[in-house]
Amino acid sequence: MSLPNERRVVVTGIGVVAPNGIGREAFWQGLKTGLNCVDNISFFDTSEHPSKVAAEIRNFKAENYVPLKKIKKMDRSTHMGIAAGLEAMADSRLPINDKTATNIGCIIGTGAGGMGFAEHEMSVYFKEGLKKVNPYAAISVFCGAIPSEIAIQLGIKGPNIAVSNGCTSSNDAIGLAYNTVKAGTVDAVLTGGVDACVTPAIVGSFCRINALSTKRNHDPKKASRPFNLDRDGFVMSEGAWLFVFEELQSALKRGAKIYAEMVGYGSTCDAYHMTAPAPDSEQTARAMQVALKTAGLVPGKIDYIVAHGTSTPLNDKNETKAIKIAFGDHAKKLSISSIKSMIGHAVGAAAAGNFVAAVMAAKENYIPPTINFENPDPECDLDYTPNKGKSLTVNYALVNSIGFGSKNASTIVKKYQE
């Protein structure tokens, strides 16, 4: 086995449950073609909600992945996490048996955990009383239920951790997984993000803080419009994007296919405000700078940034400012895009979706577009790959996430080379 400081971490499996499709290929093709998945909410009555749009996953069937007797004991987020986990492990062909199980971890990012399950059961409690409440409400609503149930179904016995850090959750989970494999704690980790946030209370709560788009309920396809002057808030979404991270020599020894290599991670805090980013954008920039430092890279090496790009008035201009601080003159040469323009914002899972885009961009040398780019904001003056994707050699891609609570995180993907 390599010494810890020599260990390289590669991606050998990808599993996806997303608004634009189930599976890596459907997801990636949807992004490449600019498939718009935002529509009016169908999951619940929105008559009292100012925002009536979301990116829902309407073709997901939990029974295809979860034993029937367990479905009612879990939140939708856990169903999706198990599905993405099964896909990622099958894609990697990493064997799980008595010899390997203890050497595989599960580190998952989630913002809301089992909040949807909690909403339903609390409603039952107040309407029908305690005896009608699902007994699993006690254990299925907390964030740690997601990696626990994934591990139980797959039989993996390494470190099992939930990271709930708002919108940076999955980027932080991916960073922790990277450091865990690199340090030699285990040789593989199933990691990424899961969130099922299109629920009445979650959407309603974000409406109450004026975070969601409300001006385009009549034209939902135009609601998510990052970096546009007339953007008015983000579009709620859901999804699960999971990866198998593996130590390179272990992956090569078993002949695994390798999508890309992870090489850097940075995390910072503005220490400023629970919902607004710091106006100076310094700590968002520093997250990128720390990621570059840990990767041993100068700014000019990055070819592509998968932006946080939420379509909120503050985020997009502050992220643009942060990129300029972190990259200097190179900022104008970068290709940038926000996939949230197509699939909305899946909160704690969003960065994991971005991470798939980064991995596939490095593997296939293609940049997906930022759609709905029609009315550029003068304060957002970089190359956001407007409306149409493009071919470009991507040796290094950086993934940004910026979250409530003043949090920032960045990860870096490298095209795999032996």
Q: Residues with catalytic annotation?
A: 167, 308, 345
Return the residue matching tokens 């010899």. 99
Q: Which residues are 162's β-sheet partners?
A: 108
DSSP reduced 3-state for 378: coil
Q: Tell me the two tokens of residue 54.
A: 């979301």
Distances (CA, A) of 384 to 224, 225, 228, 341, 380: 14, 11, 11, 11, 9
DSSP, residue by residue, 80-136: HHHHHHHHHHHHHT---STTTGGGEEEEEE-SSTTHHHHHHHHHHHHHH-GGGS-TT
Q: Which residues are 391's β-sheet partners?
A: 366
Q: Can you tell me the distance from the alpha carbon of 45 to that of 55, in angstroms, rounded to the nearest whole number?
A: 15
Q: Tell me the two tokens of residue 247.
A: 């130590």
Pairing of strands 335-337, 304-306: parallel
Cα maximum dimension of the chain = 64
Q: Can you tell me the distance from the alpha carbon of 101 to that of 211, in angstroms, rounded to the nearest whole number?
A: 42
The 8-class DSSP code of residue 22 comes to: E
Strands (E), 258-406: 260-269, 304-306, 335-337, 366-367, 390-391, 396-403
Return the residue matching tokens 């590669």. 10
Task: List Cβ neighbours of 233 (8 Å cut-off, separation of 6 or more).
Answer: 51, 210, 211, 212, 213, 214, 311, 312, 313
Alpha carbon 335 to its chain's center: 20
**Integer-rounded Cα radius of gyration of the chain:** 20
Kindly report the number of other CB atoms within 10 A of residue 86's CB atom: 18
Kindly report the number of other CB atoms within 10 A of residue 218's CB atom: 10
